[in-house]
Structure 1
Amino acid sequence: MPIHAVIFDIGNVLIEWQPERHYDRVLGKERREAMFAEVDLHGMNDLVDQGHHFTDTIYDWAEKYPDWRDEIRMWHDNWIELASPEIPHSVRLLRALRSKKIPVFALTNFGVQNFDYATTVYPFLNEFDRSYVSGRMKTVKPHSDIYQRVEEDCQLAPETLLFADDRLENIEAAQARGWETHHFTTPQGWAERLVSAGLLTPNEAQ
């Protein structure tokens, strides 16, 4: 069955998301490793992705760990430096699909306030035909209900959706619902998948 919509994850597909890299640069690797061993920063971020308030969640978390208060607040105060840079080839693929009138959606684990902020820094985040943001939906990948809600909202059959994500568990959850998928590791690999699906020509996918 032909593909009727292409769905992009955002973190590590359109924008690099490597918080450890930022902290290594600011704190040094040894101190960063000590902090991450003591403080569940990714667990904190999961709450934001589930819809908890971006500022309140991080600042409250920082108060639980006074020895790391300032460093934890960096997750909020320097957030755009954690979520950078954009991945230019992936952005070109997004725009190439849209130029051919192929519907393009976002399906992302992302908080409400920081997604709104990201759209002011990365204009391409405003270019999706539909944006499915976990914080707004109050459910996250890889839970099956987020995929079901996408299907119900866009009214497209699962087998007509092509979804790229960097996390294998998210891909497997989509596959379980019958979606076509691509495990994203490089933008070139994603480009080749879009060409093989007949959505872009090799030249359009450059």
Structure 2
Amino acid sequence: MSVEAVVFDIGNVLIEWNPERVYDAEIGPEARAELFAAVDLHGMNEKVDLGENFHGQVSALARAHPERAAEIMLWHDRWIEMASPEIPRSGRLLRALKARGVPVFALSNFGVETFEIARAHYPVFSEFDALFVSGHLRMAKPDAPIYERLERETGVAPKRLLFTDDREDNIAAAHARGWQTHHFTGPDGLAEKLVAEGLLTAEEAA
């Protein structure tokens, strides 16, 4: 079945997302591992991704662990460093699809405030034809409702959507709905997939 639209995850597809790297550089790998074992920073971030206030959630976690407050607040104060750098070839592929007239949608677990920070930093965030951001919708991957929301609002049949994401559980949820999928492990593989589907030529995907 031919693809009508391409759906991009954002973190680790269009930009890198690696909080651990920032903490490793700041406090060292051993201290970072201890911190992450003692404080559920990723769990806090999942609440942000579901629409809770970014500063409020980080601050509340810092208050709950006063002995680690300075380290916890790095998640807020240096967030853009964690969500970097851009993956340039992925952005080029998105733009090449748009130039061919292929609709491109974002389906991403992202907070309300953090998405705006990233959008100001990365112009590619403003180039989607439609955005499905978990923080705004208060629903997240891999739960079915956010996929259904994209289907309903775009009007594209599931079997005509091609979705790329770095997480296998998110890919599996889309596949279960009949979407075509590509597990993103790097932009080269995505380029090959887009060429194989006839969405881009090899030259356009370079």
Length-normalised TM-score, structure 1: 0.99
Counterpart of 2:11 in 1: which secondary structure? coil
Gapped regions of structure 1 (runs ≥ 5): none
Is residue 170 of structure 1 aligned with residue 170 of structure 2?
Answer: yes
Q: Match of 2:15?
A: 15
Q: Match of 2:201?
A: 201
Q: Match of 2:155?
A: 155
Q: Match of 1:67?
A: 67
User: 1:88-120, CA deviations, whole angstroms, 9 ceiling, x for partnerless residues?
Assistant: 010100110011111000000000011011110
Is residue 42 of structure 1 aligned with residue 42 of structure 2?
Answer: yes
Q: Match of 1:133?
A: 133
Offset at residue 179 of structure 1 (A) = 0.2
Once superposed, what is the RMSD of the aligned Cα atoms? 0.6
Q: Distance in 2 between matches of 1:5 and 1:59?
A: 39
Counterpart of 2:135 in 1: which secondary structure? helix
Q: Distance in 2 between matches of 1:62 and 1:162?
A: 40
Q: Distance in 2 between matches of 1:67 and 1:186?
A: 39
Gapped regions of structure 2 (runs ≥ 5): none
Q: Which amino acid aligns with 1:157?
A: A
Is residue 101 of structure 1 aligned with residue 101 of structure 2?
Answer: yes
Q: Which amino acid aligns with 2:73?
A: R
Q: Match of 1:82?
A: 82
Q: Which amino acid aligns with 1:24?
A: D
User: 1:65-91, CA deviations, whole angstroms, 9 ceiling, x for partnerless residues?
Assistant: 111101111111110000000000101
Q: Distance in 1 between matches of 2:130 and 2:70?
A: 36
Q: Which amino acid aligns with 2:189?
A: G
Q: Distance in 2 between matches of 1:67 and 1:181?
A: 44
Counterpart of 1:30 in 2: which secondary structure? helix
Q: Distance in 2 between matches of 1:69 and 1:83?
A: 21
Stretch deviating more after TM superposition (160-169 or 64-73)? 64-73
Q: Distance in 1 between matches of 2:182 and 2:72?
A: 34
Offset at residue 156 of structure 1 (A) = 0.8
User: 1:27-73, CA deviations, whole angstroms, 9 ceiling, x for partnerless residues?
Assistant: 10011011001001100000000000111111111111111101111
Q: Which amino acid aligns with 1:128?
A: F
Q: Distance in 1 between matches of 2:29 and 2:97?
A: 40
Identity %: 56
Counterpart of 1:92 in 2: which secondary structure? helix
Counterpart of 2:15 in 1: which secondary structure? coil
Q: Which amino acid aligns with 2:79?
A: W
